[in-house]
Structure 1
């Protein structure tokens, strides 16, 4: 069935929805990122903040986004303290600002500013050599330099290690219908390039939630290996909340398990954060009502208890 659209793009034919990203060029959104790794009862947490900006399309028409780290990266609430961690943290700054291209469905496609990263490396390397000493440091810098030289190497490193990219930039902007054959999604926990990823069913909710936003639900699993009974197994659940007009992600929570010799549980939370210290307490349902009123449509007010704040309802506090 075809998608039926009205002026406000809010009404869909049951059984078929289409998500199209309408993120304006130049608009930036700040996101908080929290990733918790739990392996055999040992838990580690990574937290940081990032800014994502929609850029003008490339000369060939590709959609471009700039990603900036706007905070330090905290591990278990502290800055890296071991030498190896400090070194990795210092070297990792070479990637930002990172500009990526995305495909027509919003999925991560590739790095668009590799040459800028190479130029930036000279300054980052100088700081590393000033702040660290020893043969091990020289070897690390040499390996890093070799990896950075090829765009394909940098891209593969991000695909295998960057949870933010592999969670926020999934190909979710497409048509959802009654027949959903599923799609395979990869995450950094899958180090093997041979794995097809988590086979995932996607369900775009027909109704907006109680504060007017859209909800997209993922349910997936690692298919058991037909040829290899010892192949890894696991499950994946994703819960996206999307802006009803621009369709950008307000928040996403992903839960993954990966079982091989041991079981690893990973929870990824990405959520919009207020800008410049301003409170973020938005009710999209109220926007919809006000827009209808402005258009001269009928306005019906039902008495009831005051509505809870956006974040209160979002986080179920």
Structure 2
């Protein structure tokens, strides 16, 4: 049907070509070769001489049709097949949570908007599975490092004080249920002990009301396991990453759900969302899980004659197709109180370079 090369005098002798026969049309040749007509036309027109351009169909004088190399065709077929590759779920349409596969480093960025004030916080986080008990509760270790505030290392007393007091929390060990939702702090005693050793150093280094405020907040958070859990409930990384997405979905991969998120410290904003899984892998062979919805106003403002608060919640999770581990999260959450309060969270896995000794 086609041959490699063509007569010496042909300008197309370096291409793979098809010799056009009487009665051939663009559609019939495309059908015989298993290529879409527009792709056949596109490749030919990229390399042919101007008078041989294919418009609606072959011109009467056209003898040779330039074809894409075999390698190009195979790569295109492979790409098309990947585009239609279906997501594999467990029984009852459950998204599997394979906790023991999780040992990853993540780059994390928070952009917070409160009225006209915009702040950016960047850091590195690591998540490592440690153990699973007989009830399918999982133990994870979380570490944090490399904090930047508005693209700079902490350069104010307040920033440095916040970093120093927060250091006692890590490594943080947490308990996660079988849906991937964080439910408890595991190493409270260890953290409390670290604080007792660090408190005097913080007091020696920092002075004033700001230092006393951070000391008091830390002391309050470390009263017991419950107060520490409540304190950490405002941590964006823990709430976004351990969101409990590994649950049963419906036959159409979608259902209505409620999401609570700490947009304001110590306050839980409620959102009604549609939670769904894209049934096909994306172009990077990742599973995409989405949560999209709107803020649910409790009506308290309306009682005083104010307009109801509005807001939105949009989160996209991208998971490895084999391990179901989180590779990337894009989350945007906002509520329009008197002014818009918004947070944008971006989390993406990366491989740390090993230090050469």
Q: TM-score, length-normalised on structure 1?
A: 0.76
1:35 corresponds to which residue?
110
CA distance in 2, matches of 1:264, 1:10: 35
CA distance in 2, matches of 1:138, 1:222: 36
| Secondary structure, aligned partner of 1:247 | coil
CA distance in 2, matches of 1:29, 1:12: 22
- Across the two proteins, how many residue pairs are aligned to each other? 264
Once the two structures are superposed, the pairs formed by residues 56-205 of structure 1 within 5 Å of their partners are: 56-58=131-133, 61-69=136-144, 71-134=145-208, 137-138=211-212, 140-160=214-234, 162-177=235-250, 178=252, 180-191=254-265, 193=267, 197-205=270-278
1:45 corresponds to which residue?
120
| Secondary structure, aligned partner of 2:96 | coil
1:17 corresponds to which residue?
93
2:220–2:227 contact (8 Å) kept in structure 1 = no
1:93–1:124 contact (8 Å) kept in structure 2 = no
| Secondary structure, aligned partner of 2:99 | coil
1:211 corresponds to which residue?
284
Q: 1:45 to 1:227 in 2, by over 3 A?
A: closer
1:285 corresponds to which residue?
none
Match of 2:321 among 244, 252, 275: 244
Q: Shift of residue 242 of structure 1?
A: 0.3
Deviates more, 1:173-182 or 1:115-124: 173-182
Structure with bigger gyration radius? 2
CA distance in 1, matches of 2:196, 2:187: 15
CA distance in 1, matches of 2:110, 2:233: 16
CA distance in 2, matches of 1:93, 1:179: 40
CA distance in 1, matches of 2:97, 2:135: 19
1:23–1:54 contact (8 Å) kept in structure 2 = yes
Q: Which runs of 5+ in 2 are unaligned?
A: 1-85
| Secondary structure, aligned partner of 2:275 | strand
1:257–1:265 contact (8 Å) kept in structure 2 = yes
| Secondary structure, aligned partner of 1:79 | coil
Q: 1:249 to 1:12 in 2, by over 3 A?
A: closer
1:265 corresponds to which residue?
342
Q: Shift of residue 130 of structure 1?
A: 2.6
1:222–1:235 contact (8 Å) kept in structure 2 = yes
Moved over 6 A (4+): none
1:184–1:196 contact (8 Å) kept in structure 2 = no
Q: Which runs of 5+ in 1 are unaligned?
A: 1-8, 279-317
CA distance in 1, matches of 2:203, 2:272: 45
Deviates more, 1:50-59 or 1:135-144: 135-144
Q: Shift of residue 47 of structure 1?
A: 0.1
1:290 corresponds to which residue?
none
Q: TM-score, length-normalised on structure 2?
A: 0.68
| Secondary structure, aligned partner of 1:189 | strand
1:54 corresponds to which residue?
129
